[in-house]
Chain A
Amino acid sequence: MPKSYADLLREAREQIREVTVQDVADLPPGSAAIVDVREASEWEQGHVPGASHVSKSYIEQQIEGIAPDRDQPVVLYCAGGVRSLFAAQTLTDMGYTDVVSVKGGFQAWKGAGFEFDTPVVLSADQKQRYSRHLLIPEVGSEGQARLLGSKALLIGAGGLGSPAALYLAAAGVGTIGLVDFDVVDVSNLQRQIIHTTDRVGERKVESAKIAINALNPEIKVVAHEEMLVAANVERIIAGYDVILDGTDTFETRYILNDAAVAAGIPVIHASVFRFEGQLTTFVPYEGPCYRCLYPTPPPPELAPGCSVAGVLGVVPGILGLLQTNEALKVLLGIGTTLAGRLLLFDALETEFTELQLRRDPHCPVCSDEAVAARAEGRPLATANVGEDAPFLLTTTGLSGNVSPGARA
């Protein structure tokens, strides 16, 4: 027997429980999946904070990405409370056991004076450029907007920094800072793919900028054409959301570590040697820092640089991309980073090995005691650092402050 719209609506109301906007506002955070089933153009005008967006026409295809558990509470809303009722019926048919629809929808929400979020709206060009990101639920337009608003700092526009800079630019990380004071040498081109033969002799930061903006003109490139030292580290890293460490000296690495811990900025660390690489993510206070992993640098004969020992060109390429993957996860707040894990790569065997890392409870820079000392403006305890640590006096984090004379 044919049914009218009124019949369908009555049936839906009988079947689906409706809640008020006050009920939604009272929900403890994270206790239910709140799903906005309106069209994208309506969502862009504003939505309930914390809600996910799946337009009603895609609800069957996409709901499992948001609510994989059929018994999880799901709250659906639309503009006025009708489309969400029908969408709730669909979810009930799919086996969801706790689906409700918001009476009066978003209009009632706004009418009651509750706060709402207005998402960043990507331009038509951006929607096209980043379309493969937008299709991934874990990224979507919100994640893409987050990347566009993010700032990543690369220490070194070399073997690790080359692929990292290109892929960060391609991914739409809005600001890329490059710290490098070197010029492009023809011997760099075996692995430093951001540079080109016709740019040999040019400053690396300028050469990298050309490549980044050729790939993605909307990326802002900040060139820091200077050597990272204790006197400028605080200034250079300020304001960045994530740092990719592609340095080749221990001194720079310790200086960077200590300053980044003090500033609370995650550092994605990688280093390479011939056919091998090491990679981890240092998230201040969540996992260990570089000093926890290596309390003191090795003597030079145990850690020759690439210019002495050589490196297979793809090794920094692979490690640089793994760094970029970590950086994107940190920026998007998704997945599990390598915090607390050291990944070893052996290109000859094509083998990855994972080692567990721990925070050193006596770490001079990131231990609880160091955190407390920094908060109280006390000098950090250095007794545990050891007299053989040559970079003790250059570390920002150790004193908690850079002395006025050291500021650049």
Chain B
Amino acid sequence: MSTVFIPSVLRPNVGGAKSLDIQGGSIRAVVDGLIEQHPNLKGQLLTDDGDLNRFVNVYVNGQDVRYLAGLDTPVASADEVRLLPAMAGGAGV
């Protein structure tokens, strides 16, 4: 079971949970597991072609999976997976 940290903006899609424990040996399996539990995450995480959306970064133990093996990046149990979209706010207005 790896722990997936959900950013604030996506929490309404997962019932407010800050993190979820998801089974899966790769990022693809973890993302599929997430979407299976919370189908409305699909459009946020994946493109129509099934690739990771470029505006959401995915990190495994602090490393960006884009520079590992993308969706094929292996995930071991006890690994920390973090979803991270860009934030807008500069608290300017």
Query: Using a CB–CB distance below 8 Å, which chain A residues touch chain B?
Result: 155-156, 158-161, 180, 182, 185, 188, 191-192, 245-250, 270-278, 293-299, 302-307, 309, 311, 315-316, 342, 344, 353-358, 360, 386, 388
Contact = CB atoms under 8 A, between A and B. Distances in A.
Nearest to B7: A276
B9 A304 contact: yes
Contacts of A344: 84
A342 B8 CA distance: 17
Interface residues on B, range: 20 to 34
B92 A159 contact: yes
B90 A273 contact: no
Nearest to B92: A158
29 contacts: A156-B92, A158-B90, A159-B90, A159-B91, A159-B92, A161-B90, A182-B92, A246-B91, A248-B88, A271-B89, A272-B91, A273-B9, A273-B89, A274-B8, A293-B57, A294-B55, A294-B86, A297-B55, A298-B55, A298-B56, A303-B88, A311-B91, A315-B91, A316-B89, A353-B62, A354-B62, A355-B62, A355-B82, A360-B66
Nearest to A306: B89
A276 B82 CA distance: 14
B8 A160 contact: no
Contacts of B88: 248-250, 271, 273, 303-306
Contacts of A248: 88-93
Contacts of B59: 355
Contact of A158 (B57, B67, B82, B93): B93
B63 interface: yes
B8 to A, nearest CB: 6
Nearest to A359: B67
Interface of B: 7-10, 44, 54-57, 59, 62-64, 66-67, 82, 84-93
Contacts of A342: 84
A341 to B, nearest CB: 9
A354 B84 CA distance: 12
Contact of B85 (A247, A274, A277, A302): A302
A158 B91 CA distance: 6
A188 B92 CA distance: 8
Given A273-B8, A304-B9, A357-B64, A386 B90 contact: no
Contact of A298 (B66, B67, B86, B92): B86
Contact of A386 (B8, B9, B54): B54
Given A273-B88, A309-B9, 17 more contacts: A246-B91, A246-B92, A248-B91, A250-B88, A271-B87, A271-B88, A273-B9, A273-B89, A293-B86, A295-B55, A296-B55, A304-B89, A305-B89, A315-B91, A342-B84, A356-B64, A388-B54
A300 to B, nearest CB: 8
Contacts, number: 130
Nearest to B56: A298
Given A275-B8, A355-B59, A160 B54 contact: no
B92 A276 contact: no
B87 A278 contact: yes
Nearest to A245: B90
B91 A250 contact: no
Residue of A155, A275, A302, A307 contacting most chain B CB atoms (<10 Å) = A302
Contact of B57 (A192, A250, A272, A294): A294
A102 B87 CA distance: 57
A249 B93 CA distance: 11
Contacts of B92: 156, 158-161, 180, 182, 246-248, 306
B87 A303 contact: yes
B23 to A, nearest CB: 23
Q: Which among B7, B54, B87, B91 has the highest number of chain A CB atoms within 10 Å? A: B91
A388 B64 CA distance: 21
Closest 8 CB pairs of A and B: A159-B91, A158-B92, A316-B91, A271-B87, A298-B55, A248-B90, A303-B88, A246-B90
A303 B85 contact: yes
Contacts of A357: 64
Nearest to A187: B93
